[in-house]
Amino acid sequence: MTEPQVAWLPGGRRQHLQHGPIDLIIETWGDRHQRDIAHRAAVARFASILDELVAELALLRKPCPPEGLGVQGRVARRMLAAVMPFAAEGVFVTPMAAVAGAVAEEVLDAMLVAAALDKAYVNNGGDIALHLGAHQRFDVAMITLGALPADAGRVAIEAADEVRGIATSGRHGRSLSLGIADSVTVLATGAAMADAAATLIANAVDLPGHPAVERRPASSLRDDSDLGERLVVTGVGHLDPEEVDLALETGLASAEAMRTAGRIAAAACFLKGRSKVAGPAVRGATCHLPGAIQPERMERVHA
């Protein structure tokens, strides 16, 4: 296995950590000395995360039973804690549904234990763990990755808000999806829960049996998939606007149930240029604002 890679991106503010499939962008605000300590802590914690996950990968790929799984690693336990509420309700889910968010949370927590920061984020492929000190704010631009990728609005998170995790899932992302959503972005109190919820809401955006939806067993696409023989979406043809709205409504119902249970703060579901939003915290979710989005100042979250 290759060694973890550490680099600074142009401008010297954002740190890039990469090891196997884990790819983090980290940025901090505050006292320079404290920021340096935080970034060193991130590197130190990051060094062993992939090995820890690989050691328990067989368990982490198993469907989570209501009583849980006997995982030991800190990231693995974060993953399990995020999916357990859904498993307890009989939903099919594996801890891998929360892996990206859990890794981001773990690295951010290591930084905050080591240093006092005004603001910080750890972005793991679009799944973001966030720290906001007093009077701080974080702006994130959403991108929906359909046939025509587009800026899909933005979210402003204030220090007084409870949101500290942002995640996106869907069939155009890095993972396989049981649903047809182009993307689903979720805000929650933590990144691991946001990650798990986004996965499950994206699965719920669906039109079972529709002839325009192509599906294949997950194992035929990736022999190591935690989804096994379950059918995942490989293509979506023409859908009437009414059909798009019907699929989005099923995702919206899933998101609203999670909001009612206190698991997420908000969600935005996107499919073929249309969207549905659950919760008041997503601002401008259907507004394309390409002229106002400044990538050098605003993180982008996408599947």
User: For the segment 56-90, what is each residue's pLDDT rounded down to a tens digit?
Assistant: 999 999 988 877 778 899 999 999 999 999 999 99
Q: Could you tell me which residue, 25 or 286, shows the higher pLDDT?
A: 25
Using CA atoms, how far residue 173 sits from 8, 12, 79, 200, 254, in Å, is: 25, 28, 19, 14, 20
131: alpha, beta or left? (left if phi > 0; alpha if psi -120 to 50): beta
Nearest Cα to 150, choosing from 159, 139, 140, 141?
A: 141
Query: 85 φ, ψ to 5°?
Result: -60, -35
Kindly state the tokens that stand for 64. 């989570």
* Amino acid at site 101: G
* Amino acid at site 283: R
pLDDT of residue 96: 94
pLDDT of residue 292: 23
Q: Is the CB of residue 282 less than 8 Å from the CB of residue 187?
A: yes
pLDDT of residue 19: 96
Q: What is the pLDDT of residues 173-218, one digit of tens each?
A: 777 898 999 989 999 999 999 999 999 999 999 999 999 999 999 8
Report the largest interatomic distance among the alpha carbons of the chain, rounded to a whole angstrom: 59
Q: Where are the alpha helices (DSSP H) in the chain?
A: 32-55, 57-60, 74-87, 99-114, 191-204, 218-221, 241-260
Q: What is the pLDDT of residues 214-233, one digit of tens each?
A: 999 988 888 878 888 888 88
Q: How far apart are CA 177 and CA 174, in angstroms?
A: 9
Using CA atoms, how far residue 73 sits from 48, 70, 155, 191, 246, in Å, is: 11, 10, 32, 17, 40
Work out the number of other CB atoms within 10 angstroms of the CB of residue 216: 13
pLDDT score of 149 more than 70:
no
Q: State which residues form the domain around 277.
A: 5-301
18 DSSP β-pair partners: 5, 23
Q: Is the CB of residue 92 less than 8 Å from the CB of residue 112?
A: no
Q: What is the pLDDT of residues 92-146, one digit of tens each?
A: 999 999 999 999 999 999 999 999 999 999 999 889 999 999 999 998 877 666 5
Sequence-ordered strand ranges (E) for 133-246: 137-144, 150-158, 165-169, 183-188, 213-217, 231-236
Q: Are strands 137-144 and 299-301 parallel, antiparallel or unpaired?
A: parallel
Q: What is the CATH number of the domain that holds 231?
A: 3.10.520.10
| Number of domains making up the chain | 1
Kindly state the tokens that stand for 82. 């995020």
Helix, strand, coil percentages, rounded to 5, for the chain: 35, 25, 40
Q: What is the pLDDT of residues 6-64, one digit of tens each?
A: 999 999 999 999 999 999 999 999 999 999 999 999 999 999 999 999 999 999 999 88
Q: Could you tell me which residue, 238 or 144, shows the higher pLDDT?
A: 238
Using CA atoms, how far residue 72 sits from 17, 49, 92, 97, 109, in Å, is: 24, 13, 22, 17, 18
Q: Which residues contact 57 (CB under 8 A, 6 or more apart)?
A: none
pLDDT of residue 219: 86
Q: How far apart are CA 60 and CA 93, in angstroms?
A: 10
pTM of the model: 0.88
